[in-house]
Amino acid sequence: MCGTCGCGQPDQPVLILKPGEEEHMHNYFHSHTHHHGDEAHTHSHSHSYVHAHHTDDKAHVHDHEHQHDASDHEHQHMHGHVHEGEGMEMHEHHHAHEHQHGRQVMVEEDALHENNLLAERNRGFFEAKKLLALNLVSSPGSGKTSLLEKTIIALKEKVNIYVIEGDQQTMNDAGRIDQAGAPVVQINTGNGCHLDAAMINKALKRLDISDDGILMIENVGNLVCPSLFDLGEALRVVIISVTEGDDKPLKYPTMFETSHICVINKTDLLPYVDFDVEKTREYALRVNPELKFFEVSVKSGEGMEDWFNFLLTEWKKA
């Protein structure tokens, strides 16, 4: 989607490239305006949310006011609804709709249904190939790519490692992985903030994967969006570095809730920062009591042996 105005860009495709294919990148910059036919089109929205919480139950009042003006078309909607409920009951709705005509079609379909189906297909492929697939997620700058480089260098004689790199732009990370000696495909999501199962499905077709190995998927640096998108991985690994706040697990709980492994990186910097490792573990365990931790310094190598052994053990199970 467009970061400037929030509208979609079907004209900007997701790019899937191997190292050395950069020259084929073209048509990257774009501009667009909103015109539907020759009609100028404006939308104005105003919203007000009032949430009042009484004791442990809730009263929600949502007021929406929508105004759409198009050249041949003018209408105005206003509705207010009040939710009141006891304890955990679903809200009761009081709606005042004067103009509810037409027929009702029940849909009841999950927005992530399509993604989850494709993720299961990927998962089946990984299982059949005896591939251990990992989805590495973190904020930008936590050291995902460095962790990958060191892991590849240490383990490439023992196991085939494949990498799918996700970034909004550039081939930089794929270049680093290529140097480290693993087959790699780069996904440039354009303005997309996460990888999804369909992108992985396409990227897999460009990686000539033989049976038995480890596939590392480095997601776009972002602690929010990638958490909702299953890629088909066996393990999700969240990486946090000690230069970040130790309350990250509470600030971004969904990512820690959906991960299996938490790697705490840059431990060589602990003497210089206020990061409290125990506090981070405690917060993360509140969100996800099953989470398993590794404390490493990719730079000094401290703690890396445990991480390598863990990967080899999991790979043998795959």
Partner 1 sequence: MHEFSIAVSMVDIALEYAAKSNAEIVNEIELEIGELSGVVMDAMTMAMSAATKGTLLENARVKIVEVPGKARCRACGHTFRIRNIFDPCPQCGGFNPEIISGKELRVKSLNIE
What is the contact surface with partner 1 in residues (CB under 8 A)? 1, 6-8, 34, 36, 43, 45, 47, 49, 56-58, 60, 62, 64, 66, 68, 73, 75, 77, 79, 83, 85, 87-88, 90-91, 93, 100-115, 192-194, 196, 224-229, 249-250, 253-254, 257, 283, 285-287, 289
Taking the least distance from each CB to partner 1, the nearer of 18 and 286 is 286
Q: Which of 230, 249, 228, 229 is nearest to 238 (CA)?
A: 249
For the record, the structure tokens of 55 come out as: 């004791």
Question: Shortest Cβ distance from residue 79 to partner 1 (Å)?
Answer: 8
Q: What is the spatial distance between Cα 166 and Cα 136, in angstroms, rounded to a whole number?
A: 10
Taking the least distance from each CB to partner 1, the nearer of 68 and 299 is 68
Taking the least distance from each CB to partner 1, the nearer of 24 and 99 is 99
Question: Shortest Cβ distance from residue 125 to partner 1 (Å)?
Answer: 22
Question: Shortest Cβ distance from residue 216 to partner 1 (Å)?
Answer: 22
* Sign of the four-CA dihedral 99, 102, 103, 109: negative
Q: What is the spatial distance between Cα 52 and Cα 63, in angstroms, rounded to a whole number?
A: 13
CA distances (Å), 237 to each of 101, 216, 219, in order?
49, 10, 10
Question: Shortest Cβ distance from residue 122 to partner 1 (Å)?
Answer: 17
Strand 184-188 with 41-52, pairing:
unpaired
Q: What is the spatial distance between Cα 184 and Cα 80, in angstroms, rounded to a whole number?
A: 52
Question: Shortest Cβ distance from residue 200 to partner 1 (Å)?
Answer: 14
Taking the least distance from each CB to partner 1, the nearer of 109 and 274 is 109
CA distances (Å), 33 to each of 6, 30, 68, 73, in order?
12, 10, 18, 20
Taking the least distance from each CB to partner 1, the nearer of 90 and 128 is 90
